[in-house]
Structure 1
């Protein structure tokens, strides 16, 4: 047999026609392509926005907008605080808490943004007392509180003891030894209260006792004592009603359930007066028969 499995030598003639390109030519074409693509990118590139406003899109758009808004608010608050620290008056720095623990008298008048904590034409006062004297039955001023027509406390101070206290009456007065040790001098409190109530309508319950421990007087025509208002006295058949009973019967509120608070009692007295002011005031006329005050005045 003739063996035909001899390997045939491959030569260049057996290959299909091929285009041979030089390396340098390929590099040149590639560089030309890259340069043209860069030009295209520059033409299609969007100009940068002048402002830095964030553009939101997608699922969490609202959340991101809220976060950005909160951040802006924080920044504004920081600017406000910086201005205030530099001496600019942006807000009223006088702050009386709801329980009137502040001892600043004049500061309450300067808050003109609303009706709170300002001195009105009608003021209600109440005092707490402690026992002095040989058997502790004599009264000495321990605390005095004043509220305006809206029930906002504008004055509340404890008073230093001027003599030995025999009975603090804590169960009723709510006054303790440390309260008087940290209190104000009597003469200062007396002067401040006198200036506050001068020329104003003074409301209270058994005001004679409160004025007595303060060693002050007040014109009778400017006193509205809820313990002496005749329609109120009918509740107890002519006898002097207690403030606690009047608050329950007229206002439907419970007070003095434990230790007394002169702020709470003053507010109750003012509420009682306001509930009957339109009926009370017309009965108070001067010698010429003219109405004294308008109960709607602040």
Structure 2
């Protein structure tokens, strides 16, 4: 039986990298990077990792997207609902689990809708808390490069289009 979100089955794990090795590789990849995702704290919890709050952009937690979508203050919406309402994109519609690339691309595209406002607010917060001024984390140097996308993962037309849109925005 696949898991509800990933679609991964027991046989997929037979020759998988051991958790501790995978976790270490993930930590190396994420080091000094801004992490954009939706409900990303769930992933951090499963991996038992800490990532500095000022380096996390969780689209489930920002009031900027809720306001843009016209939702009441404090409402935390699903990635599926935010994508449909703000990106006019239907995601997570299959029964085999979520497509992680589609979800990640949607989260990044949502972030880009409010990036300027979000980054300015974060810089003000850091300054008000007495944190020394950091360079803007919105710089593309802090994002993972396309080299981390596994081969063939962009085969689905909707994902391929989304990945190309994100690449175009980064240049």
Match of 1:295 in 2: 138
Q: Partner of 2:11 in structure 1?
A: 178
Higher relative contact order (CA 8 A, sep 6+): 2
Unaligned segments of structure 2, at least 5 residues: 142-171
**Alignment match of 1:191 (pick from 24, 35, 58):** 24
Distance 1:291 1:249, change over 3 A: farther
| Distance apart, 1:260 and its partner CA | 0.6
Shift of 1:275: 2.1
In the alignment of these two chains, the number of paired residues is 131
Separation in 2, partners of 1:186, 1:222: 24
More helix by share: 2
Residue 41 (structure 2) pairs with residue 222 (structure 1): no
* Residue 284 of structure 1: aligned partner: 122
1:277 and 1:295 in contact (8 A); partners too: yes
Residue of structure 2 in register with 1:275 after alignment: 113
Residue aligning to 2:81? 245
- Counterpart secondary structure, 2:64: helix
* SS in structure 1 at match of 2:140: coil
Higher strand share: 1
Question: Are positions 1:266 and 2:100 aligned together?
Answer: no
* CA-atom RMSD in angstroms: 2.0
Q: Which has the larger radius of gyration?
A: 1
Normalising by structure 2, we get a TM-score of: 0.69
| SS, match of residue 92 in structure 2 | coil
Give the structure-1-normalised TM-score: 0.41
Any stretches of 5+ residues in structure 1 without a counterpart?
1-166
Deviation at 1:296, TM superposition (A): 4.2
